[in-house]
Amino acid sequence: MERLQKVLAQAGVASRRKCEEMIAAGKVQVNDETVTELGFKVDPAVDSIKVNGRPIAKEQHVYILLNKPKGVITSATDPGGRKTVLDYLHGVKERVYPVGRLDYDTEGLLLLTNDGEWAYMLTHPKHHVPKTYHATVKGMPHGSVLEKLASGVKLKDGMTAPAEVDYVDVDPEKKSSVISITIHEGRNRQVRRMFEAVGYPLERLKRVRFGSITLDGLKRGKFRNLSKEEVTELRRLAEKSHNVQNTD
Ligand code: URA
């Protein structure tokens, strides 16, 4: 819920100050009732808001790709005062929210939008948009460990679905390895729990791909808008993954 004058200003009606004057003057209607109370709360996605009887412009949909740093919370607010992903979106005026989530300690590819339907498509458990992570572990897990991760690991909320798993980088000096894992589900802390289950707790976790979108060229802490084609392609992918699942 948002204050009415903020919603009016965001819709481009006038400055916040001017919008307050318009409310006080009885020029604004919410669900066909005139509202003169400043600070009246509305939900722009649900409430009908009019100025002098004419509906205000709907907020444009925006689609953002952020390279989330580690140590940042994936939510709009944090009661503990920690940094949130919204702190990185300088100049974005629309009220966007994350599409799914990355753990506080996970870095990498995060999508944000104000298009509820698109976000729903991409995160619904029935849609299996593949997500690829680079997981850093101590030592070098044997091929049989990777096979186990790929074929399914028993977690407390059930077996994991088949995944694609491969070595990305093995560094004998540092005695660590980077493993690529592509999953088609989105359970809470899934990748971390999978690696814990096979005896390799993660040192670092980074999401590098979401469907057709990668982090290529995007520095840590930076964001960019997705192109129309990228948005459409992700929607198509979610629909396709849904259909594949339904015909199984
Ligand atoms: N899996 C995890 O364990 N953490 C994430 O942030 C994303 C996937």
CB of 132 within 6 A of ligand 1: the answer is no
* CATH number for the segment(s) 63-113+216-247: 3.30.70.580
Return the C-alpha torsion angle 106, 110, 114, 120, nearest 10. Answer: -90
235 Cα–ligand 1 center, Å: 22
Q: Tell me, what's the pLDDT at 243?
A: 53
Better pLDDT: 106 or 75? 106
Residue 167 · residue 179 · CB < 8 Å: yes
| Confidence check: pLDDT of 247 > 50 | no
Q: Which two tokens stand for residue 228?
A: 């129309």
The residues facing 225 across adjacent strands are 64
pTM of the model: 0.81
Sheet of strand 54-55: strand arrangement? 33-34, 28-30, 49-51, 54-55
Q: Active-site positions?
A: 103
> Which residue from 1, 10, 4, 7 is spatially nearest to 39, judged by alpha carbons?
4
Three-state SS letters, 61-118: CCEEEEEECCCCECCCCCCCCCCEHHHHCCCCCCCCEECCCCCCCCEEEEEEECCHHH
Percentage of residues in the chain with pLDDT exceeding 90? 73
Q: Which CATH architecture has domain 2-55?
A: Roll (3.10)
What is the rounded average pLDDT of the residues 118-125?
87
Size (the chain), residues: 248
Residue 113 sits at φ, ψ, to 5 deg, of -160, 170
User: Amino acid letter at 146?
Assistant: L
Q: Apex CA 217: angle with CA 169 and CA 136, to 5°?
A: 25
Residue 132 · residue 182 · CB < 8 Å: yes
CB of 196 within 6 A of ligand 1: the answer is no
CB of 192 within 6 A of ligand 1: the answer is yes
Q: Tell me, what's the pLDDT at 181?
A: 98
* CATH number for the segment(s) 131-210: 3.30.70.1560
pLDDT in tens, 132-150: 999 999 999 999 999 999 9
Q: How many CB atoms lie within 10 A of CB 157?
A: 10
What is the rounded average pLDDT of the residues 214-225?
97
Q: Which atom of ligand 1 is nearest to the CA of 207?
A: 7
86 Cα–ligand 1 center, Å: 19
Q: Which two tokens stand for residue 238?
A: 């979610």
Give Cα separations from 230 to 24, 61, 62, 225 (angstroms): 43, 14, 12, 10
Q: Which atom of ligand 1 is nearest to the CA of 192?
A: 3
Q: Which atom of ligand 1 is nearest to the CA of 194?
A: 3
Same fold, 63-113+216-247 and 131-210: yes
Better pLDDT: 125 or 229? 229
CB of 103 within 6 A of ligand 1: the answer is yes
Any idea where the domains of the chain sit in the sequence?
2-55, 63-113+216-247, 131-210
Q: Tell me, what's the pLDDT at 248?
A: 37
